[in-house]
């Protein structure tokens, strides 16, 4: 979503006419969640995706109708539609897509700028009702940009957006319409799409070892802001970890202590130092933090020795129960790349509440709706 809004801001700046197609709701095995967006220019350029390729051609046709002077349009695509086979959504999911022209009153530049600085921001769009379907505004720490056409609707939209933004969630919401209250300031019944861009979750990798290099790359690909920390300056270099957002030379526990409230339930901590003088003070601190995932590299023997040292350092059994060690899932892999794959597999399974079992052994939707336990 971030790269789509960045491109939208560039197209607006350059005077390109284009439409924005956004997923309003998704059911079943739809490949992209609510809030996912795609840009379609009047010259046929496309950025982003709403279905992983299944219905893009049909959405592009709808976008060109809008750009030709048609009103904002909402269309459902799924296996229950008569046109499902022709548009190619054969994966078993259903999506609602809203398409409108993204003219200058859509605050793409504001949203893209806030997201680039790591500030939580949401793009709010009128889907139905209200004053003007397709109207948009930005809501975030810097206040609001744009308007939905009426002050009372703007207030209701801000309230709704802040609620979803706090959870890092996107989707459609209904506001207003309380006719029985008699309040002249009540917003009209309106359906909104809230697309949240909260700061990316953090992956903290301690130990600039060879095993860390593919893990850092995987973490960046998964959308984490990745930091590598090691006390040894010869190993902790940007040249060795080009995909890392930050490379820090410091004692792991001291740097972790300095992060304070920046460590939250979405934070992933991977301890690869494999050295008790680094591991024990760091894990003692990390296991008492809100971090959602804490794993440590090492053999079974190393793990047992680590547990003894952590207990001697005052770590409780409840705190130790949070430690995932040896780190990763049992994939039978060898070498740094496959070890990194097993680590990110465990992180994703915990984050998305996956079973870690082969899909062929399970029934039900492939993309089942689950409440994330780690991250967003």
DSSP secondary structure letter of residue 261? G
Which band of pLDDT confidence, cut at 50, 70 and 90, is reported for residue 81? very low
> How many whole angstroms separate alpha carbon 72 and alpha carbon 305?
63
CB 117 within 8 A of CB 142: no
Give, as one character, the DSSP assignment of residue 324.
Answer: E
Are the C-beta atoms of 173 and 164 separated by less than 8 Å?
yes
In the predicted structure, residue 369 carries a pLDDT above the cut 60: no
pLDDT at 130 over 80: no
DSSP 3-state of 372: coil
The CATH 3.40.50.720 domain(s) of the chain lie at: 202-361
pLDDT computed for residue 54 by the predictor: 67
Q: Closest Cα partner for 324 from 291, 370, 275, 278?
A: 291
Cβ contacts of 367 within 8 Å, gap of 6 or more: 28, 29, 30, 31, 93
Find the angle CA(176)-CA(157)-CA(67) to the nearest 5 degrees: 105
Average pLDDT score over residue span 191-206: 90
CATH superfamily to which 202-361 belongs: NAD(P)-binding Rossmann-like Domain (3.40.50.720)
Confidence at residue 356, expressed as pLDDT on a 0 to 100 scale: 83
CA distance 157 to 354: 33
Q: What is the pLDDT of residues 251-288, one digit of tens each?
A: 999 999 999 888 988 899 999 988 889 999 999 999 99
DSSP letter assigned to residue 132: S
pLDDT tens track for 133-166: 899 999 998 899 999 988 889 999 998 998 888 7
Distances (CA, A) of 322 to 203, 253, 305, 310, 348: 17, 18, 17, 13, 16
Between residues 60 and 201, which one has the greater pLDDT?
60
- What single DSSP character describes residue 245? S
- For 15-57, how does the pLDDT look when each residue is reduced to its tens digit (9 = 90+)? 999 999 999 988 776 667 888 899 999 999 999 988 766 688 8
Report in angstroms the alpha-carbon separations of 111 from 14, 129, 172.
17, 24, 18
Choose between 110 and 129: higher pLDDT.
110
* Among 231, 225, 223, 221, CA closest to 204: 225
pLDDT for the residue numbered 9: 94
With vertex at residue 348, the alpha carbon angle to CA 214 and CA 306, rounded to the nearest 5 degrees, is 70
């Amino acid at each position: 979503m971030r790269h789509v809004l960045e491109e939208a801001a560039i197209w607006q700046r350059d005077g390109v006419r284009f439409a924005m197609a956004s997923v309003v709701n998704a059911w079943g095995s739809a490949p992209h969640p609510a809030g996912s967006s795609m840009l379609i220019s009047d010259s046929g350029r496309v950025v982003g995706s709403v279905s992983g390729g299944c219905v893009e051609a049909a959405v592009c046709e709808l976008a060109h109708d809008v750009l030709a002077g048609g009103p904002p349009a909402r269309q459902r695509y799924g296996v229950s539609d008569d046109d499902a086979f022709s548009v190619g959504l054969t994966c078993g999911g259903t999506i609602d897509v809203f398409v409108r022209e993204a003219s200058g009153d859509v605050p793409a530049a504001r949203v893209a700028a806030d997201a680039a600085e790591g500030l939580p921001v949401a793009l709010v769009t009128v889907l139905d009702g209200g004053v003007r379907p397709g109207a948009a505004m930005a809501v975030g720490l810097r206040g609001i940009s744009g308007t939905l056409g009426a002050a009372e609707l703007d207030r209701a939209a801000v309230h709704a957006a802040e609620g979803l933004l706090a959870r890092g969630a996107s989707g459609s919401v209904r506001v207003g319409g309380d006719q029985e209250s008699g309040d002249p300031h009540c917003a009209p019944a309106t359906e909104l799409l809230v697309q949240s861009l909260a700061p990316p979750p953090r992956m903290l990798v301690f130990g600039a070892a060879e095993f860390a290099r593919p893990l850092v790359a995987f973490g960046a690909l998964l959308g984490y802001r990745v930091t590598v920390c090691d006390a040894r300056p010869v190993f902790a270099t940007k040249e060795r970890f080009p995909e890392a957002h930050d490379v820090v030379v410091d004692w792991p526990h001291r740097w972790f202590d300095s992060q304070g409230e920046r460590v939250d339930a979405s934070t992933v901590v991977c301890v690869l130092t494999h050295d008790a003088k680094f591991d024990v003070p760091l894990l003692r601190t990390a296991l008492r933090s809100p971090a959602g995932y804490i794993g440590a590299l090492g053999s079974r023997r190393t793990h047992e020795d680590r547990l003894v040292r952590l207990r001697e350092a005052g770590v409780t059994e409840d705190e130790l129960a949070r430690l995932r060690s040896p780190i990763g899932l049992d994939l039978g892999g060898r070498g740094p790349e496959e070890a990194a794959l097993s680590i990110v597999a465990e992180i994703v399974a915990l984050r998305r509440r996956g079973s870690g079992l082969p899909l062929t052994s399970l029934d039900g939707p492939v993309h089942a709706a689950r409440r994330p336990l780690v991250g967003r």
